[in-house]
Amino acid sequence: MTAQVTVTGLGATTPLGGDAPSTWAAMLAGESGIVSLDDDWAQELPVRIAARLRVEPTTVLDRVQARRMDRCEQVALVAAREAWADAGRPAVDPERLAVVVGTGTGGALSLLGQDDILEASGVRKVSPHTVPMLMANGPAAWISIELGAKGGAHTPVSACASGAEAIALGMDLIRLGRADVVVAGGAEACIHPLPLAGFAQAKAHSTRNDAPQEASRPFDTGRDGFVIGEGAVLLVLERAEFAAARGARAHATLAGAAVTSDAHHITAAHQDGQVRAMRRALADAGLGPLDIGHIHAHATSTPLGDLVEARSIAEAVGTHPVVTATKSMTGHLFGAAGAAGALAALLAVRDGVVPPTRNLTDPDPAVGLDVVAGGPRTVRPRAALTNSFGFGGHNASLVLTAAP
């Protein structure tokens, strides 16, 4: 028998809010967290917009601790603390508690910042905390230390699929009997001139500098690229029997997951890999396409990527599910995007309402899906599926169902 996995804790800090409830409320309201960058370093860039955090992590964390952490580590710890508290701080054997936090770039801000200091001021000015701040496993490590988790601290690094892959790995750890509780999700913080310039040169980032809140427009004919964002989303996953024995409230059930790779191109999405991920996730959950009533799309707002995903959804699941794309509001959180998508899909199942896709004013007729726009839609899906796809051909799909 495969152990059932329930989600008992939610934590988030995003461009829409400093916690999970405020992020969800903003999603349902169709708000935007995308702003103009007024920093001096941004003024000469072709891209001068981003989705910055609504609440600074340094206002929440201890000042001394925060100074020793990269921003990616800071947001991860903030979200993990909320998720842990929301789950009721489970009393679990440390050997049966694990942490899995995915990220795309890890401590990129610290790496780039300390390199600037080295070049300008020499070795003696470089922080002694540089390596712990830049390492990609930093977020998982800090959370494991905070919670006393001795069952493993893992770090999937699979570009924009990292957060979803982390949740899938967390589910596997429970199913394999290696953990009773896993804190899993994703974190990212890399709003910096180098990534912005790189994405601009690759023609992947929106250049709607004069209208930041209209820049991210998944499935719209006017889409011209994604908008970089920052944040973290962490979930507490538990073996259902363990959660029930301690009387924990379950937000939803993590029913299935799948991870595939395209083996096709370093940046271009491929329909075959996406279709296989969705079909395998459904099979893992023991469900069929008609059981899926809602899909949270990866939908980053790129001209080609959105269309490839739409065709993949139609092939793997069909055109009947109600679809949304919350990157229209949060921007693209890269390594945290898959976890943010899981949060949105989970709450849609729990609350029976799907948030709208912002800026969908002229739907692309080639998409052919039922994409929610204008306002939230009341839906009672039996199950929801959420997609995450990343550079390198990484694909991850999760299936969530209502809590028993």
Residue 48 in this model has a pLDDT that exceeds 90: yes
Predicted pLDDT at 83:
99
For every residue of 283-306, DSSP letters joined together read HHHT--GGGEEEEE----S-HHHH
* Residue 401 confidence class, pLDDT cut points 50, 70, 90: very high
Q: CA 308 to CA 3: how far, in whole Å? A: 34
Predicted pLDDT at 127:
96
Residue 1 in this model has a pLDDT that exceeds 70: no
Q: CA 313 to CA 308: how far, in whole Å? A: 9
Predicted pLDDT at 398:
98
Nearest to 254 by CA among 371, 331, 338: 338
Is 72 a residue of the active site? no
Question: What phi and psi, each to the nearest 5 degrees, are found at residue 29?
Answer: -80, -5
* Residue 404 confidence class, pLDDT cut points 50, 70, 90: confident
Which of 251, 270, 296, 332 is labelled catalytic?
Answer: 332
- Give every CB contact of residue 42 below 8 A, 6+ residues apart in sequence: 48, 193, 196
Q: CA 132 to CA 146: how far, in whole Å? A: 15
Predicted pLDDT at 122:
97
Predicted pLDDT at 117:
97
* Residue 3 confidence class, pLDDT cut points 50, 70, 90: confident
Predicted pLDDT at 28:
98
* Residue 205 confidence class, pLDDT cut points 50, 70, 90: very high
For every residue of 311-366, DSSP letters joined together read HHHHHHT-S-SEEE-THHHH-B-GGGHHHHHHHHHHHHHHHTEE---TT-SSB-TT
Is 332 a residue of the active site? yes
Residue 2 in this model has a pLDDT that exceeds 90: no
3 state SS of 9? strand
Q: At what angle do helices 138-147 and 71-86 cross, to 10 degrees?
A: 40
Which of 270, 294, 298, 394 is labelled catalytic?
Answer: 298
Predicted pLDDT at 29:
98
- Give every CB contact of residue 142 below 8 A, 6+ residues apart in sequence: 69, 73, 76, 77
Average pLDDT, whole number, for the chain?
97
pLDDT digits (tens, 9 = 90+) for 112-168: 999 999 999 999 999 999 999 999 999 999 999 999 999 999 999 999 999 999 999
pLDDT digits (tens, 9 = 90+) for 246-263: 999 999 999 999 999 999
Which of 72, 154, 160, 192 is labelled catalytic?
Answer: 160
Residue 331 in this model has a pLDDT that exceeds 90: yes
Predicted pLDDT at 53:
98
Residue 91 in this model has a pLDDT that exceeds 90: yes
Is 296 a residue of the active site? no
